[in-house]
Amino acid sequence: MDTDVKAPKYNLSEEEEKKEIVRQYRALLRCLKPKLKPGHRELLRLAFEMAADAHKTMRRKSGEPYILHPIAVARICVEEIGLGVRSTICALLHDTVEDTDLTLEDIERAFGSEIARIIDGLTKIANVVDTNTTQQAENFKKILVTLTDDPRVILIKLADRLHNMRTLDSMKREKQLKISSETVYVYAPLAHRMGLYTIKTEMEDLAMKYLEPDIYREIARKLAETRRERTRYINEFIKPIKEGLEKAGLKVEVYGRPKSIHSIWNKMKKKGVAFEEVYDLFAIRVILETPPDREKEDCWKAYSMITDMYTPSPERLRDWLSNPKANGYEALHTTVMGSQGKWVEVQIRTKRMNEIAEKGLAAHWKYKEGTNDESRFDKWFTQIREALAQDVSSIDFLQDFKTSFLAEEIYVYTPKGDVKMLPVGATALDFAFSVHSVVGSKCIGAKVNHKLVPISHKLRSGDQIEIITSNKQKPHEDWLNFVVTTKAKSKIKDALKEEKRKVAGEGKYTLQRRLESIGAAVSQANIEELTSFYKLASPLDLYYQIAVKNIDLKELKEEFQVLGDKLVLPKPVKTDPEIKHYEPDANRPAHKKENELIIFGESSDRIVYTLANCCKPIPGDDVFGFVSTGKGLIIHRTNCPNAARLMSNFGHRVVKTKWAKNKEISFLTGLKIVGLDDVGVIHKITNLVSGELKINIAALTVEAKEGLFEGNIKLFVHDKEELDELVERLKKLPGIEAVERYDTELS
């Protein structure tokens, strides 16, 4: 991890620093107290002293002694994840092998092979945190190899990432963006999958604080303003529930908690509503203390009593008692109508279920001891091992992993009634491949609940599926568009590759004849030269493109010279000196020059840049530059739908960028306006836009039905200030309900 100091905020004398380190270490011991056995204190002391000594000259970006970071990570492991003494030792030493002179052998001598193995796993994946050079996806694959070996590695890694997110303030802006994107893209879903909901929520909130600071602050402010009335409402809502359940002889704890800022924002985006209209801003937890054999019965009893007091929303019942999630989560969720017409989410679970919900995998193990149940986690790890064995590129793997392994699951049944778990969005074809790869390859259709459906049919929980096959069927390219599981994707790709190989044989023969006819050798160097010239990924692609006649080999003589028996391009292509450093090799570490802040947007600009179509940035938006191969610099908004993926997978190609103040250039953007359909409403809008604010309208479409109208307006603005003023003015017009900027492509 980088330890160069940036403007230390931390200002303690050496003596005070020592006291602070000891104070933090003692706090760690206090929370470990219930788990300590004879000999543990000595081992912990040794680990602490080894880490403190190894890191003694190092400081964090904030200026504080580096050792405070491993202590903080160890406390998260104990207090928030529920891990024990061995994991605490690993957390204290997690950075030593990577960052200091301590070796794995030193650790094995002091603590044994198990701890050394976990530290080794943590060292292998340490680069994921903030290296600029290696592709994140490759590192992520390494994480998973270690995860399936010992899940404690990933739990300590999540604690490390959480502490890094909590202390991200002292990092540079581009580091904040990169680390936050990576967190929301990979680590938060992973924490969710490991059952660590509290950590997942905090990671998402912290990432949003850096990725979308304005919206984050706005929602936080509104939550703070409404806190008192919310608390009063929750207390009134809870009172009858607590009294009723206790009267029925149930030992119960009931409390309310506000929804996280990130989940409120998600709801606002998904439903297209304002903060005030997010109906379930808070959730109520009902925690029952009940013996294991009565858990289900008591949860349903509590559900029945609560829905007698408050009317439930029928489509909002979630039963994870009968079918727990793969990460062990069990609970009943329902949404009921409270007083003042407010919807409230109620979660019912027992103390045991609550501990699994809070501490995820760690608690799951604790309760699993002594049972012979093959845990859903174990099945999950087995599936990951299978996926890792497939030969796919790291980027594809990361993409597939997110959709296949980090998504919520559905439960479906075979014709014989066996349960299969698939990710949400899985199709009949995914199910066919989960049965067997041969069944998948020959699948021509399916019967879902005895009705005939196409192979692309999306499955829902509870469906029973029978697959129909034919020996004449073989996988097609378009199958990749609707399968979501890694197994299905990799098997389809394998089959297509095999097919491609057959066709490519013809292309290879054609190329050999052509090279011989112009006096060039059929050598690896010449084939690689041609592959790179046609911008293809591999020689196989080159042969295939020649076979299907997408490449005309007659051009060879015009494009290349033959020197000896080598193909060479006659002369290098000249590039403008101003912009040549925006076309780096995708895998080469970025030079200092490329990391400097790029000011762009002048009318006399010689920097070649394009504005991303996916998010249409305008001056004043928070943006970053992405160096693409072939297109130079592309400017994206930091909250662009593709930003997290780009920053996570290609962090080394992200460039810090800033708009120049410029009133000469106009930028196309779009607004969606919703309001009451009233005579003259269009006139009022156009009058304000064109007449008063003198903004050019490029296009305006309006659709009115049942008393409401929805208008889409494309216009040219100079910068975000101008757009913000327009939005505020439009919202003040009578009858206008909502005005939103397009976040997606302007078609």
Tell me which residues are annotated as active site: 98-99
Length of the chain, please? Answer: 747
User: What contacts 296, CB < 8 A, 6 or more positions away?
Assistant: 321, 322
CA-to-CA distance for 207 and 183, rounded, in angstroms?
Answer: 7
User: What contacts 209, CB < 8 A, 6 or more positions away?
Assistant: 180, 216
CA-to-CA distance for 147 and 122, rounded, in angstroms?
Answer: 10
Q: Are 238 and 283 in contact (CB under 8 A)?
A: no
SS3 for 609?
Answer: strand
Q: Are 727 and 620 in contact (CB under 8 A)?
A: no
CA-to-CA distance for 579 and 632, rounded, in angstroms?
Answer: 8
CA-to-CA distance for 230 and 246, rounded, in angstroms?
Answer: 24
CA-to-CA distance for 58 and 4, rounded, in angstroms?
Answer: 9
Query: Which residues is 623 bridged to in the sheet?
Result: 637
Selection from 128, 110, 108, 109 nearest residue 118 by Cα: 108
Token digits of residue 404: 């296949």
One-letter amino acid of 360: G
Which value, in Å, is the radius of gyration of the alpha carbons in the chain?
30
- 612: which DSSP letter? -
Selection from 453, 475, 547, 565 nearest residue 506 by Cα: 547
Torsion of CA 574, 576, 582, 586, to 10 degrees: 0
CA-to-CA distance for 269 and 266, rounded, in angstroms?
Answer: 5
Sort residue 672 into left (φ over 0), alpha (ψ -120 to 50) or beta.
beta
